[in-house]
Each structure stands twice: as structure tokens, then as C-alpha cells.
Amino acid sequence: MVGASAILDRFRLRRFDDVLGQDGILGSLREKIDRGRDDRLPHLVFTGRRGVGKRSLARLYAQMLLCEKAGEGAPCLKCNECKGVSIRSSFSYVEFSARRFPDERYFRERVEQTKMGMKGTFWRVFLIDDAEWLEAASADVMLKTLEKELDTVFIFVVNDIAQFSRALRSRCQVFRLTSVEHQALVSRLKAVCDRESLIYEERALSVIAQATGGRVGEALTRLAEVASLGEVTSASAWRTLNLEWGETMIACWQAQLRGQLDEALSHFEGIASDDEGRVRAMQSFALAVHFRSSIGTLPFGISPALECLADEAWLPILEGWENLSRRRSVPVNSLIEGAMKFWGGVNRLTPSLASFHNGYERLFGTQKDGPGPGIVAT
């Protein structure tokens, strides 16, 4: 079996045409490469949400600057300089994570390394990942280096721009990468699968795109994880991305709405392995039902496991609440709000089974407001 990181390596960007949805940035980068050595190149900051594809784009740009085949053929991915970027080290290229090496001494050593051999290129590129972690002393040394060494291009990859050195930022051109539209991301995943001859179900790619919120880098990482286990099926994607509890949750609430406590209970225990996970999931779900019932869709950010459920999956739940509403002559909104309030008020650290019994009794038990759902045939 091939490991996920080896597969991810095969997914890497090969040219600008592979890059999704960052058109403004690409145009600007192309222009810089064309201008080439006639001009000093600006130092760059790539920022945006984690997993959006910043570091991959930064590496591709480095390869285009350094490749021995300048122009149309770049990056060739075969020359020493292209390979140097791939293995993250050469006399022309230095890459490291400031989170792992925030100190000034480490940076100085890596600069020395580039001077020990003959670099074959005009440019020297430093890619500093997680650059918001740089210590002040280290940022100072970089500032001096980038002002003094004119053949050096710094690329800072920054997750949280507010934490990044202001002095460095003021000397860089800042590019903010964004998430991409769902269908475009699915197409990109499909193209990668086709190129690598992976066997896949289209629904699986859609689940991965949805669960990663349109972040290309994260989606490719997850795809590599799924592919490392075999065929890219929906079932495998659900499992790998830890999304299975969404379906278990639907089954659990269907059983509750039908008045089948034992079945509901066994699903409830399967939702997560600990009390906190189960309660948290119930809270998300109650909130999700509220949105599904009132506006017909889910706002982004409730939970990937619920966002990935197909529209049809929600139907039996919404119908169940409607039925209950009719039987009890209580508006469906108030019933759903009752569930939301109950679970919202549960402390995540209390034993979840006791809370579940309590909630079931409160929401579905046969009480003075009419016959409970238990007597209704299904």
C-alpha cells in the first residue's frame, strides 16, 4: 500500500494552469516571472485560510523562477533546480517552517548553506512557512538579508496575517488566496484522479470538496488519505473524513421521532466514543434541523458531517417533526426549538446517556400534551 504523503506528492501542482480560482494572483505572478532579471523581484506574502493551497502555489512559483528551462517550458520538474524545490533544499532554494524553527540561528545556518556551493541560478529563493511564528530577532535578520542580498526572493506563507511581522510585511506584496467554488474543486479532484489513474466515485469527490469547504490544499490532502486506503468510494471518504456520524444521527432522530427508544439509543451510542462528542453532535444536529426546517439549507460552518448529507437524508426527519406537530397541535417551529434549547442547554461533560433519556422523555415521551409518537404505526 502506498502512503498518503507519497500520493499527495503526486498530486502537486505542475503548472499555473492547474491552479484554481486565483486568477488575479496568477496574472500578477506571471508578469513578475516574465519581467525576470531586468528588475528586482518583489518579496511575497501568501496568506489565506489553512489548507487553501498557499504553500503549493509558493513552491510552484519558486520552481518557475529557478527552473533551468526558463520561459514556456518552466517548470520542467526534471532539472536540478526543480528537483531542489521538490525536496525542499538546494543551493538556490531554502524552505522551512518557522513554527519548527522560529529562531535566528537556524535561519543564519540555512543562509550559509546556500553560499557553500555554486548556485546554478540567477535567483535564490527562501520559502518561510508558518511565517507568523518567526521570533522578532529572526525577522530582523531576514529584514537585513532581504534589503542587502538583491538576488534573493523571500516568500512568506502566513496563516494569520495579524500575527506576522509588520516590518517584513511592509516590504512584501501580499496575496490573499481564497476558497474555490464547489463544482470547480470537484472538477480539479476529478482531473487529478484521472491523471493518476485512481478509481473513484464522483459522489466521494463531492463529499471531499464539501467537507473541506472549498480549500484546495486540504481537499487534495484528504483525497490522498482516502486513496491510500484503496478505491476512492463514498463509504471510504465518509469514514476517513470522520463524517459517518451524520448518517448515524439521522437514524437516531428518525427512531426518536418514531418513538423507538431502544433503537435511538443504540444509534446515539454510535455517534461518538465519548460524552462530549455525542453532546456536541446532538447540539449541531438540533441547530441544523432548525435551519433545514426554516430556511431549507445549512449555513456554512455547522459541521462538515451534516453539510455533506444529501437533501433526501433530511426528509424523514422533517416529516417526522411535521407529523408530531400535527398530532400535538403544536407548531413545528416550537417543537424543533424545544429540541434545540434542550440540547443547547446540556453540559458537554455530563454523562450523555442520562441527558439522552432526559431529552427523549421531555421531547417525545407521552405527556399531557397528547399521545406520544410511540403509538403511531410506521
Q: Where on the chain is the footprint of Zn ion (CB under 5 A)?
A: 67, 75-76, 79, 82
Min dist CB 251 to Zn ion, Å, is 53
Min dist CB 81 to Zn ion, Å, is 6
Sequence-ordered strand ranges (E) for 296-375: none
Phi-psi region at 251: left, alpha or beta (left = phi > 0; alpha = psi -120 to 50) = alpha
Which residues make Cβ contacts (< 8 Å) with residue 339, sequence separation at least 6? 286, 289, 359, 363
Element (H, E) at 93: strand 93-97
Min dist CB 116 to Zn ion, Å, is 22
Tell which residue, 77, 71, 41, has the closest CA to residue 59.
Answer: 77
Helix 54-66 and helix 23-35, axial crossing angle in degrees, nearest 10 = 20
Min dist CB 197 to Zn ion, Å, is 25
Residue number with CB closer to Zn ion (118 or 295): 118
Preceding amide of 75 cis, omega within 30: yes
Q: How many CB atoms lie within 10 A of CB 161?
A: 15
Residue number with CB closer to Zn ion (67 or 335): 67
Residue number with CB closer to Zn ion (60 or 180): 60
The answer to whether residues 59 and 85 touch, using CB atoms and an 8 Å cutoff, is: yes
User: Locate cell 527562501: which residue?
Assistant: 126
Residue number with CB closer to Zn ion (61 or 268): 61
CA distance 343 to 21: 40
Contacts 24+ apart (CB under 8 A), 33-41: 33/61, 33/64, 33/65, 33/74, 36/70, 37/122, 37/123, 40/150, 41/65, 41/123, 41/153
Residue number with CB closer to Zn ion (67 or 209): 67
Min dist CB 19 to Zn ion, Å, is 18
Residue number with CB closer to Zn ion (119 or 215): 119
Residue number with CB closer to Zn ion (75 or 304): 75
Min dist CB 85 to Zn ion, Å, is 9
Per the structure block, which three cell numbers stand in for 263?
A: 433503537
Min dist CB 64 to Zn ion, Å, is 9
